[in-house]
Amino acid sequence: MDIRTLTGELSVAPQITAADLPALRDAGFKAIVCNRPDSEGADQPNFGEIERAAQAQGLQARYLPAESGKVTDEQGAAFAALMAELPKPVLAYCRTGMRSTTMWALSQAGQMALPQIIERSAKAGFDLKGVVRRIVNGGKTPVEVADATHAVIIIGGGAAGISAAASLLARSPGLDIAIIDPADIHYYQPGWTMVGAGVFDAATTARTMASVLPRGVHWIKSAVAAFEPERNAVILDGCRVVKYEQLIVCPGLKLDWHGIEGLVDTLGRNGVTSNYRYDLASYTWQLVQQLGRQKGGGRAIFSQPPMPIKCAGAPQKAMYLSADHWRRTGVLSAIDIQFCNAGAVLFGVADYVPALMEYVKAYGIGLNFGQTLVSVDGPGRKAAFSQARPDGTKELIVREFDLLHAVPPQKAPDFIRVSPLADAAGWVDVDPGTLRHKQFANVFALGDAANTPNAKTAAAARMQAQVVAHNVLVARGAAKGEAQYDGYGSCPLTVERGKIVLAEFTYGGKLAPSFPKWLIDGTKPSTLAWLLKERFLPPLYWDGMLKGREWLAKPEMVG
């Protein structure tokens, strides 16, 4: 825990976890204020979990969420009211502590001398220059005055952002690039399926952001809140302004945990888990083993929300690996496995379905299509699914469970959805070949946030990064021709421990195997493909893709 003191009555901190509450009570805190909206990050406990843990320690807890970079004057006033009402000292937290500090600073406007507010915030490690200007300017950020300017700005230091930066530097060493990302940790999310099956240790999928940023790239450790593409500017958390010549947008997607009623109240408890969150993937493995030991067996439900989702195969990968564990431990026949998929097919590319169906049959899995998980009653161990009837009405199907692997609905991040860069569905609107924005010629997008109709995977980002790197340099007059992305994406479907159906395809579901058929036939379960996933892909990610070494990937050139 990284607690920073602002006054005798108030301290701020980055995201806390439920496990921190006993120590906070021991440190003398009487109340907790959460200034971070739920579902912002892949490793974020929801406020309900913090509130329960706080109450268990006799602390009060309040929720006053603010969007990154959008702390309003009203929220400053509401924060002041909370501070008047709550027992003190209070600990306020958000992703980094920045929003909490901003709210405090706004609540102090006119009460504490400006230099003192700035001094105290700076001492706590927060630079409030942007807020000061905003207060002075009556709440408006003067976009003409940039706090920083870089040749290339990359929003998001995930799989896509780091690879794009590395690929740019590989082509143009010394290029002035800044990555904007508030996260301390970079995750290798494809590893979470393996964590959920007890194959990888969770810690191997996480590295500090500082350690994966390419050398020479500036890191602006902040969240982007808004875009001014006509002025080549982005507005950051704390209302700072950064200007660019070329912009690359890749902040991933938003997991909408609140989109399923009751889910946030029970995640990580009552047999409810999800490999889509770093801290829960290990819980999946714990539950799978527990259910295997449970006398008389039980029911395991694996849900899949409507598309698009990242790694469309991940919900069923969790299911096959769990079933394989139960088979190996001799309890499979006692476990009723149900796959409840909002979609109409097992997998979007038909060529891979026969191999998957063999496993569905062998594991005795019940397939339920067109069924969307809409609510979860954790303590009652019941999950409700909505299914459309042929007459257009909806039927609610309630199932009891012992284990529920839930996958949340997924959408474009809020700050993207409401931005001038978004298409009607909220994703960044780019040309599917060049990955250049359809309206703003110096803006590019890749990764999960782009509206390209490929499988949202790190494998896709690996190919896209080079296309974007080349085309950004063309836009800067430093390269010729135009690179084209063909829609490549890959989904290693872990059908059993030791075997994978390696789906690789481009736009339109056209098969695009990386290996000759005699080596790996992607439409059949393969031991070699498992070894690839277990042994080769993690180093390919960390030491190849994130370092600008473009192994097994060359973009098609046009012109």
Ligand X SMILES: Cc1cc2nc3c(=O)[nH]c(=O)nc-3n(C[C@H](O)[C@H](O)[C@H](O)COP(=O)(O)OP(=O)(O)OC[C@H]3O[C@@H](n4cnc5c(N)ncnc54)[C@H](O)[C@@H]3O)c2cc1C
Interface residue list for ligand X (CB under 6 A): 68, 155-161, 180-181, 183, 189-190, 192-193, 223-224, 250-252, 275-276, 310-311, 314, 413, 415, 447-449, 456-459, 461, 490, 492
Of 76 and 191, the one with the shorter C-beta distance to ligand X is 191
Per the CB < 8 A criterion, the answer to whether 457 and 314 are in contact is: no
Reference 185, options 112, 99, 278, 102; nearest CA is 278
The count of other CB atoms within 10 Å of the CB of residue 480 is 10
Candidates 239, 250, 311, 340; catalytic one: 311
- Minimum distance of ligand X from residue 476's CB (angstroms): 22
What DSSP designation does 337 have? E
Per-residue CA distances from 496 to 15, 304, 360, 525 (Å): 36, 19, 11, 9
The tally of CA atoms less than 13 A away on the side-chain side of residue 415 is 23
- Minimum distance of ligand X from residue 398's CB (angstroms): 26
- Minimum distance of ligand X from residue 284's CB (angstroms): 10
Six-digit token string for 216: 């020479």
- Minimum distance of ligand X from residue 416's CB (angstroms): 8
Is 239 a residue of the active site?
A: no
Of 251 and 409, the one with the shorter C-beta distance to ligand X is 251
Of 11 and 304, the one with the shorter C-beta distance to ligand X is 304
- Minimum distance of ligand X from residue 36's CB (angstroms): 12
302 in helix, strand or coil?
strand
DSSP alpha helices (H): ranges in 269-363?
278-293, 314-328, 353-363
Write the single-letter amino acid at 367: L
Per-residue CA distances from 234 to 114, 177, 241, 244 (Å): 26, 15, 6, 8
- Minimum distance of ligand X from residue 276's CB (angstroms): 5
- Minimum distance of ligand X from residue 56's CB (angstroms): 30
Query: Any long-range contacts for 418-422 (C-beta under 8 Å, 24+ apart)?
Result: 419/226, 419/227, 420/227, 420/229, 421/227, 421/229, 421/249, 421/445
- Residue of closest CB approach to ligand X: 158
Of 21 and 250, the one with the shorter C-beta distance to ligand X is 250
Per the CB < 8 A criterion, the answer to whether 236 and 95 are in contact is: no
Of 14 and 252, the one with the shorter C-beta distance to ligand X is 252
Of 213 and 300, the one with the shorter C-beta distance to ligand X is 213
User: Quick one: 456 exposed, middle or buried, by C-beta within 10 A (0-12, 13-18, 19+)?
Assistant: buried
Per the CB < 8 A criterion, the answer to whether 338 and 344 are in contact is: no
Please enumerate in sequence order all residues whose Cβ is within 8 A of that of 298, keeping only pairs 6 or more positions apart, or say none. Answer: 291, 334, 335, 336, 401, 402, 403
Candidates 34, 94, 239, 491; catalytic one: 491
DSSP H or E segment with residue 167: helix 159-171
Is 94 a residue of the active site?
A: no
> Which residues pair with residue 500 across a beta bridge?
494, 526
**Rounded CA separation 299/332 (Å):** 11
**Rounded CA separation 491/394 (Å):** 32
**Rounded CA separation 373/91 (Å):** 36
Of 291 and 445, the one with the shorter C-beta distance to ligand X is 445
Of 160 and 323, the one with the shorter C-beta distance to ligand X is 160
Of 232 and 452, the one with the shorter C-beta distance to ligand X is 452
Query: Any long-range contacts for 394-397 (C-beta under 8 Å, 24+ apart)?
Result: 397/368, 397/371
- Minimum distance of ligand X from residue 489's CB (angstroms): 7
- Minimum distance of ligand X from residue 282's CB (angstroms): 13
Residues forming the active site: 311, 491
